Amino acid sequence: MNRPPPRLERRASVERATRRPDRASTRAPRDPTAVEAPVAGVRLLRVDAESAGQRLDNFLLRHLKGVPRSHLYRLMRRGEVRVNQGRIKPDRRLDEGDLVRIPPLRTAPEPTAVASASSAALTRLAAAVIYEDDRLLVIDKPAGIAVHGGSGLSHGLIELLRQLRPGVGLELVHRLDRETSGCLLISKRRGMLRELHGLIRAGAVEKRYLALVVGDPGRAHVTVDAPLKKNVLQGGERLVRVDPVAGRAARTIFRRLRCFVTDGLVLTLVEARLITGRTHQIRVHAAHLGTPLAGDPKYGDAAANRLLKAHGWSRLFLHACALSFPMGEGGTSFRVESPLPTDLAQMLSELESTT
């Protein structure tokens, strides 16, 4: 007579409810955020106080080590990852007590490419630290390095930093495009991450950039209020457009600093102050004004970029030059600055000599 299988003991750890025959059972470390899932292979994670305020995508990346970033975003777009039984966007911030449903996934060890990163790359990044205390790290990010791995990249800045600071809970506070250089905030503690995210949401973090645009904005100060909508193309490329109907509110304030003329091409150095922080915001707003960023391959002026390239200037001219915000209970002002990198400073020097 067949006997019913023994009932599995209820557990609070994240694990599959079924086991493969003839294999030793391996259990993941107990996770205090996990609850039992009603479907085999499904994971349910309860958002705790430490994770409150974190974006859904970053929450998943922290809990699902070894799952490719592109695969996680695909799952979120399909609605296979749900929060409180509903679909939400990757950038939605989680609240304490939220229940995150994760479909069955096969995880793999984290990429070994980080371990084999060149010593030169690590040395360069170590030299880029412009401020550090026990809660915060500020990097003068070099152009050409992505802030995180994925989309064909074996590693990015955050993975390299975690190798330089093993055992420290480093997390990106915000992001910069791959070709953008300058100030980038990295938290070393979850409490600091939540504090800074709160300041960003309240508009208390001031971000200033230096940019070179093609053309002349026409006024000393220009404020652009143009909602932006982000689209993800089939290959995973992000493309942002001004969309007054479906876009999210976005505001940038441009201040004209100096004009140059080379081979009949007018170029203007501007300071851009972000009031909101949408993807590609400065680049899209500058193009919306009719003055796209010099060297921008996605939103720029192709003819102007060809002329600049003939002079040896092919890089996107966008640099995060300053960050400031109130820090701590006393609200002491914290400010950090980064001078123009050598290649951009040399470009301005050559433009000055021809103007």
The bridge status of strand 43-46 relative to strand 99-102 is antiparallel
Per-residue exposure over 223-247, b if at least 16 CB sit within 10 Å of its own CB, e if not: ebebbbbbeeeeeeeeebbeeeeeb
Residue 144 lies in a domain: yes
In a shared domain, residues 273 and 311: yes
Q: Is the whole model's pTM more than 0.85, yes or no?
A: no
Picking from 44, 70, 102, the residue at the C-terminal end of a domain is 102
Residue 10 lies in a domain: no
C-alpha angle 112-169-191 in degrees, rounded to nearest 5: 155
Q: CA 329, CA 99: separation in Å to the nearest integer?
A: 31
In a shared domain, residues 45 and 177: no
| Per-residue model confidence (pLDDT) at position 112 | 46
| Per-residue model confidence (pLDDT) at position 153 | 55
| Per-residue model confidence (pLDDT) at position 140 | 97
In a shared domain, residues 244 and 343: yes
- For residue range 56-115, list pLDDT tens digits in order: 888 888 788 778 888 888 889 888 999 998 988 888 888 888 999 998 876 555 444 444
* SS3 at position 131: strand
Residue 48 lies in a domain: yes
Catalytic residues, by residue number, are: 177
> Domain span at residue 47?
34-102
CATH number at residue 171: 3.30.70
In a shared domain, residues 223 and 324: yes
Residue 20 lies in a domain: no
| Per-residue model confidence (pLDDT) at position 34 | 55
Burial, 111: exposed, middle or buried (Cβ in 10 Å; 0-12, 13-18, 19+)? middle
For 278-317, give the secondary structure using H, E and C: CCCHHHHHHHHCCCCECCCCCCCCHHHHHHHHHCCCCCCC
Q: Provide the domain count of the chain.
A: 3
Q: CA 39, CA 16: separation in Å to the nearest integer?
A: 9
Where would I find the beta strands (DSSP E) of the chain? Answer: 34-35, 43-46, 82-83, 99-102, 129-132, 136-141, 171-172, 181-187, 206-214, 221-225, 228-232, 238-242, 251-262, 265-274, 318-327, 332-337
- For residue range 291-315, list pLDDT tens digits in order: 999 999 999 999 999 999 998 998 9
In a shared domain, residues 39 and 157: no
CB 190, CB 33: distance < 8 Å? no
Q: What's the token pair of residue 197?
A: 């995210």
In a shared domain, residues 211 and 345: yes
Residues 6+ apart with CB under 8 A from 194: 52, 53, 54
Q: Which residues of the chain have pLDDT under 70?
A: 1-40, 106-118, 150-154, 234-236, 355
In a shared domain, residues 158 and 87: no
CATH number at residue 97: 3.10.290.10
List Cα–Cα distances, 243 to 49, 220, 226, 248, in angstroms: 36, 26, 7, 8
In a shared domain, residues 246 and 128: no
CB 151, CB 162: distance < 8 Å? no
In a shared domain, residues 79 and 132: no
CATH number at residue 307: 3.30.2350.10
CB 242, CB 304: distance < 8 Å? no
Q: What's the token pair of residue 100?
A: 């995150």
In a shared domain, residues 89 and 124: no
Residues 6+ apart with CB under 8 A from 276: 248, 249, 250, 251, 252
In a shared domain, residues 290 and 179: no
In a shared domain, residues 224 and 323: yes
Name the CA radius of gyration of the chain, rounded. Answer: 23
Q: CA 88, CA 78: separation in Å to the nearest integer?
A: 10
